[in-house]
Chain A
Amino acid sequence: MAVILHARGLNKSFGAVTAASNVDALVEKDSIVGLIGANGAGKTTFINLITGYLKPDSGAILFEERDITRLPPRDITRLGICRSFQMPQLYSSLSVYENMMVGLGVVLRNAGRGGYFSRGRPQVPGYDAPAEEVADRILDRFGLADQRDKNAQVLPGGMRKLLDIALTMVAKPRILLLDEPTSGVSAQEKFGIMEMVLKAVRAEGATVLFVEHDMEVVSRFAQRVLAFYDGRIIADAAPEIALADAEVKRYVVGGVSRA
């Protein structure tokens, strides 16, 4: 399988706190990778490093063999590495549909379409349809079609999460990093939401990395697991192997889910 993302020897510390310590990871194209670890283990730092929000003290990040280590988040997004947030980051004064249209507008602009002098309805790259249609199509996939005209601010928590992820889809991501897509969602809803999200994401052919605390969700949806502890990766294997690892059991599984 082809490697799409390669993190090489990443180090990052904040004062005395080490958030990433010699992190090495290879992500294969079209795979679904679960990132696990207790709070503060370095999962979100890993996502922040890859998406350019943080710059590593040393090490490199390669996306399809291209060095993206020092790029700002917007340039990394343009390359096709998109992320969702643990706390949904929405445009809260706008409607669900307008949220999508803002995102699609950016995509069109970055593609050099939909500028001041362009006429008609430009096609969204990768979707081959005008923005209005793409917005509705994505909302439909995420089960948000009924919420279309509601203000993003009044959406219930679970739907805010879904919209946050739906917003990443406008750019047709190659790699999607989901930061706790099911946090704040009831245990019964988790599987349904993950299934819907992964189906929608996989329909566009993106490689997925997701942070998750529920080991049942991880073992069901991840093809591979990266277990973090104290800024290090302590296990990198298929879920059944990684979750059975003694260190993982001690620091991750025992530490959080069964506590």
Chain B
Amino acid sequence: MKRDRTPEMIGIIFLVVVLSGAWLPQWALFILTIAFAHGLVALGLMLMLRAGLVSFGQALYYCLGAYAAGALGKFLGMSDIFVQMLAGAAVAGFAAFVLGFLLAKYRGIFFGLLSLALSMILYGLLVKNEALGSTDGFNILPSTLFGIRPAADWVRYCVAVAAAFAGLSAALLVHRYLNTPLGRLAPAIKDNEIRVEYMGTSARHAIHVKYVIAAVLAGAGGALAATNVGHIDPEMAYWTTSGEFIFITILAGTGNVIAPFAGALIFGVIHTMAYDLSPNTWQMSLGTALLALIVFLPEGLWSLFVRRKAA
């Protein structure tokens, strides 16, 4: 059996971010941080996808996480990046725990559309809410790290390192989870729920757990994105945001916990380049690039590595 090197790889990636980050320009650090934020959301979606479920509304938790982080600064004056991420994760996780009782009953397109509907409800509520800035949203306090406010030039670097730490820790935890009996149940649920039930466990319960984990990850990702951008608005809950997360997840594939972050980074880079090259038709360039990736790598990015190993 091949040795699993994922934990080592995660460690190396963290070191690379810490060391090279100091030399990277500000815009690159920004893209990197967003990639970790989006990667967190995609990591959760990957968990669901392994069990055969696609959530068209993961932006619900992304947005909840962002607003939780924002509210923390706006109403309590807290701006510590880790506290923000924890708050985002907790609020999103709690919401998913409650909504999970409903959603875990549904499969396939019904699950997808119900999750989409819930995210659009949040969007509607935020748009109508004047106290939270309505369609304009509101600005977030600059991040601090354990009570220390880094020098202006180093804020982006500190946020990127915090993002890498959060994202890669989550990857490591999820990686371990995938090797537990509950984690291994995902493809079995996708294949045959009747058999799962007759083996003595509840598929619905397993899906509920995965749904909450995915929301916790999305909430942390949303908080991270919010503090990185410095501004939040209801667009974060809009269905196109959910669509981007699904795209990243499909692009990454379900092969490995590092893949969602790689997928998010590639998506971010293509997105930025496309916008830079042709501001008016960036969606077309992005679409073409993603189409090519899907045609040539139907199993996602990770198939590149697997194929090379097999050869």
- Interfacial residues, chain A to chain B (CB-CB below 8 A): 51, 72-75, 77-78, 82-83, 89-94, 101-110, 114-116, 167, 170-171
Contacts and interface: CB of A to CB of B under 8 A. Distances in A.
B184 A102 contact: yes
A74 B202 contact: yes
30 contacts: A72-B197, A74-B198, A74-B201, A74-B202, A77-B197, A77-B198, A78-B200, A82-B198, A89-B194, A91-B187, A91-B188, A91-B191, A94-B191, A101-B184, A102-B188, A102-B199, A103-B199, A105-B180, A105-B181, A106-B201, A108-B181, A110-B200, A114-B180, A114-B181, A115-B180, A116-B177, A116-B182, A167-B195, A170-B199, A171-B200
Contacts of A78: 200
Interface in B193-245: 194-202
A139 B214 CA distance: 35
B201 to A, nearest CB: 5
The 6 closest A-B pairs by CB, nearest first: A105-B181, A77-B200, A91-B191, A89-B195, A109-B181, A102-B188
A83 B187 contact: no
Contacts of A106: 181, 185, 196, 199-201
Given A91-B187, A102-B188, 12 more contacts: A72-B202, A77-B198, A83-B198, A90-B191, A90-B195, A93-B187, A102-B187, A106-B199, A106-B201, A115-B181, A167-B195, A167-B199
Contacts of A107: 199-200
A106 B185 CA distance: 8
Contacts of A102: 184-185, 187-188, 199
Interface string B156-198: 0000000000000000000011001110110110111011111
B55 to A, nearest CB: 21
Give the residue among B176, B192, B198, B202 with the most A Cβ atoms within 10 A: B198
Contacts of A170: 199
Contacts of A104: 181
B184 A105 contact: yes
Contacts of B202: 72, 74
Contacts of A91: 187-188, 191-192, 195
A87 B185 CA distance: 21
A205 B133 CA distance: 68
Nearest to A108: B181
Contacts of B182: 105, 109, 116
B4 to A, nearest CB: 15
Contacts of B192: 89-92
Contacts of A101: 184
A73 B197 contact: yes
A90 B195 CA distance: 7
Nearest to B200: A77
